[in-house]
Amino acid sequence: MKDRSFPKHIGIIMDGNGRWANIRGLPRVEGHRQGSHRSKDVIYAASDIGLNALTLYAFSSENWKRPEDEVSVLMQLLSFYIKAEIPHIFKKGIVFRVIGDRMKLSKDIRALIEQAELLTSGNSGMILAIAISYGGRDEIVRTVRKLWEKGIKLSDLDEDIFTSNLDTGELPPVDLIIRTGGEERLSNFLIWQAAYAELYFTDTLWPDFTREEFFFALHNYTQRERRFGAALERIVF
């Protein structure tokens, strides 16, 4: 049985693929390929320890500004990953979700995503949310539009209603955000959801981020005292 201080939902900013490749004199695409292999390791590690939800920042809304050939390769890797890994994800009981602005993706990739979500919708294990064409500010704007389309009055709007209409509405609150690659910022990732999340930064580049460091980040989290703005008494989960 997990300790009650164990996180339910972890978000990961998978940073450092390009630098990993540059250090080794390899094309950036090789860094992205190695990063996708690392993603699989962490996903299955998270599932094996009973995490409720894992959100991976795979492709930001700003990443569309990258060189066209790099974006093309990233989309090819995404397509390959879905085709190759969804059967394994299904067998592990994982629920697959994608958050972000799907309309910027190709019809073929949108169809693959919808098929994967439908296939795993009956599973009862960890929810795996992949953030693709995602930006926290864009998510908030899209949520405001969604609420307007639903006819929800401003006088009736509260934080619970807003949160439930975000892309992550069906996921538990984010407890911990891990960022690899040495940078120490959220970079537009889950900015509403991260209001009270704990943050863990490491210099390790994503392709080198092992299961052991993932588990160390979890251990580091369990040693922290989370008060959510309350008094100094320790909150018992």
Residues annotated as part of the active site: 15, 63
User: Phi/psi of residue 132, each to 5°?
Assistant: -125, 135
